[in-house]
Chain A
Amino acid sequence: AQSVTQLDSQVPVFEEAPVELRCNYSSSVSVYLFWYVQYPNQGLQLLLKYLSGSTLVESINGFEAEFNKSQTSFHLRKPSVHISDTAEYFCAVRGSGYSTLTFGKGTMLLVSP
């Protein structure tokens, strides 16, 4: 079985401040990890993913996430957020041998001026 826990349902932050969105997973096999973003009234879009290789992965808009196998975590970070980063962020896991993703419940990032 595989599961994902996003520890914060909502994270308020001021513009230009750093942010970390936490994600922990549970799986009995090797994993592939994903972060998706959902802007208001839209579908989900892939933000970044870890499949293998370097444990630090980056997105084109300044987010990064680090796969930590010992802590079973895949936290998402950005050193300086913008108003436009306001959205809901979903962490997802796929265990080796599985053909579907399991999503966390989401974290709403609220960036204010």
Chain B
Amino acid sequence: NAGVTQTPKFQVLKTGQSMTLQCAQDMNHNSMYWYRQDPGMGLRLIYYSASEGTTDKGEVPNGYNVSRLNKREFSLRLESAAPSQTSVYFCASSLAGGDTQYFGPGTRLTVL
């Protein structure tokens, strides 16, 4: 059981470039989440997917898009990266919305 996996672990982008962060879980969870973590700000929810086929905005969705590809995978896309998107991104999953969440190891993104 790998739990929640994220790729890549590290990424450096230039302003305006695009990229997709990948997340997969092997726990047969219905709900998946994307957070960003910034110093002194805690974790802020970007988008979540309560179940396969649905996605909803969280607290800080601007500049991001998501795709729930299937029950296992939930990707986060930055269409035109900005320095303000420099952060550590965490994916999480739970059996149902609001249940205990299980987190991936994170992706450290730097936008120059």
Contacts and interface: CB of A to CB of B under 8 A. Distances in A.
A90 B42 CA distance: 8
A100 B103 contact: no
Interface string B95-112: 011101111111000000
B40 A99 contact: no
Given A42-B105, A43-B90, A44-B103, A103 B40 contact: no
Nearest to B90: A43
Identify which of A32, A42, A103 gathers the most chain B CB atoms within 10 Å of its CB: A103
Interface residues of B, number: 24
A80 to B, nearest CB: 27
A101 B98 contact: yes
Contact of B98 (A46, A98, A105): A98
A106 B97 CA distance: 22
B61 interface: no
Interface residues of A, number: 21
B90 A32 contact: no
A81 to B, nearest CB: 22
Interface of A: 6, 9, 32, 34, 36, 42-46, 49, 90, 94, 98-101, 103-106
Interface of B: 4, 31, 33, 40-45, 48, 50, 58, 90, 92, 96-98, 100-106
